[in-house]
Amino acid sequence: MVIGSGPIVIGQAAEFDYAGTQACKALKEQGLSVVLVNSNPATLMTDHSMADAIYIEPLIPETIQRIIEKEKPDSLLSTLGGQTGLTLSMELAKSGFLESHHVQLLGARPDTIDKAEDRQMFKDTMLAIGEPCIPSKVVTDLPSALEFADNVIGYPAIVRPAFTLGGTGGGIAKDHAELEEIAQNGLHRSPIHQILVEKCISGWKEIEFEVMRDHSGNVLTVCSMENFDPVGVHTGDSIVIAPTVTLADKEYQMLRSAALNIISSLKMEGGCNVQLALKPDSFEYAVIEVNPRVSRSSALASKATGYPIAKVATLIAIGYNLDEIPNFVTRKLRRASSPCSITSWSKCPSSRSTSSCTQNARSVRR
């Protein structure tokens, strides 16, 4: 089963439709039966040729449950329907419904999604692997948010709700009154009523990496991207440039190493978007967040590089390793005869090419 991203929103649905269409085609090419659920009929992925069964229904847990009971799929692909598909998949997994109906969650495991989407777990994971985070605090009530900003980090402060698409419900608060309004909205928008209040680093460069990881731990960088506007301007209101254009090689390799280190610690299986902030006048950087799924940026990166991120992510989800999938840019298949001997990300000799070398390459499919 594949879950779509839902209704059209400018700058959103077209990208997820692009990714979902790639996924459906990849699954069909592998001879698998596909059940597609989407509330939006005005998409390519809901074309009759894309899936064996298509349901245009509201994307809510009750609907998905009824369709699973009827169609009896053996697996659910959680990472191609944006935040909507990811959140629905998590709800069904945590409630025990998927397990009781013998449906396997593909693309990202529940603990991986939790570590990336739950603000406190994400912060703890980053600190555990030595990746710098912006001074912040995870709160579940308004007084705690106000107390932390007033007495610890000062203003301006950034609010980031947990489990929302594109930072919906968040924003930058310039003073106590603005924080009260934004934090209350963020707590309301978050499905688990949780927000991250963090120090504002407006003016830093905002860098993104589209990265891939398979079941065996092979990782590669598909594309680096740089936002035209610095941190403080939402990426949805900015221009993104691929590849990065203002980074020195040392800065690029440092951030690329961090991105690969992060997805390895999260044990991602498929495509992932890592967002980082870099102070312009030093090598100081911080991890902003990770999308444990195919994102809007993934579709843009696919079009810019020619590398079909959603297609490769889908193949990884159903059991392939990266060294078993041809590089769709170079048209070559990379199989390592022995595991890569590189043990430090920062020492990886790979260049800035579209597809970098894999780590610990193996040719065994799960």
pLDDT in tens, the chain (366 residues): 998 877 765 545 567 788 888 889 999 999 999 999 988 887 888 888 889 999 999 989 999 999 999 999 999 988 887 778 888 888 899 899 999 999 998 887 888 888 887 878 888 899 999 999 888 888 999 999 999 999 999 999 989 888 776 667 888 899 999 999 999 999 988 888 888 898 888 889 999 999 999 999 999 999 999 999 988 777 777 888 989 999 999 999 999 999 999 999 988 888 888 999 999 999 999 998 888 888 778 888 888 888 899 899 999 999 999 989 887 777 676 554 333 322 233 333 333 333 333 333 333 333
Q: Which two tokens stand for residue 46?
A: 């809901």
Q: Cβ distance 242 to 304 under 8 Å?
A: yes
Q: What top-level class would CATH report for the domain 205-347?
A: alpha beta
Residue 64's alpha-carbon distances to 18, 72, 109, in angstroms, are 22, 11, 19
Q: Does the domain made of 2-106 have the CATH classification 3.40.50.20?
A: yes
Select from 75, 36, 29, 31 the least CA-distant residue to 53: 36
Give the type of residue at 147. Answer: E
What's residue 251's pLDDT?
96
CB under 8 Å, gap of 24 or more: what pairs does 126-135 form?
126/262, 126/287, 128/265, 129/261, 129/262, 129/265, 131/258, 131/261, 131/262, 131/287, 132/284, 132/285, 132/286, 132/287, 133/286, 133/287, 134/198, 134/199, 134/201, 134/277, 134/286, 134/288, 135/198, 135/199
Residues 6+ apart with CB under 8 A from 153: 135, 136, 197, 198, 199
Compute the CA torsion angle 46, 51, 55, 56 (nearest 10 deg): 0
Judge whether 316 and 322 are in contact, CB under 8 Å. Answer: yes
Whole-number pLDDT of residue 326: 81
Residue 199, Cβ density class (10 Å: 0-12 exposed, 13-18 middle, ≥19 buried): middle
pLDDT at 73: 95
**Three-state SS sequence of 196-212:** EEEECCCCCEEEEEEEE
- Looking at the chain, the domain(s) classified CATH 3.30.1490.20 span 135-199
Tokens representing residue 217 in the block: 């731990």
d(CA 25, CA 32): 10
CATH superfamily of 135-199: ATP-grasp fold, A domain (3.30.1490.20)
Collect all residues with Cβ–Cβ distance below 8 Å to 176 and sequence separation of at least 6: 146, 149, 150, 155
Structure tokens at 235: 């990426």
Tokens of 42: 């005005």
Classified as helix, coil or strand, 37 is: strand
Task: Find where tokens 């969650």 sit.
Answer: 105
Supply the pLDDT for residue 201: 87
| CA distance linking residue 17 with residue 33, whole number of Å | 19
Residues forming a β-bridge with 240:
227
72: alpha, beta or left? (left if phi > 0; alpha if psi -120 to 50): left
Task: Give start-end residues of each CATH 3.30.470.20 domain in the chain.
Answer: 205-347
| Residue 10 burial by Cβ neighbours in a 10 Å radius (0-12, 13-18, 19+) | exposed
C-alpha R_g of the chain: 20
Q: How many of the other CB atoms lie within 10 Å of CB of 186?
A: 28
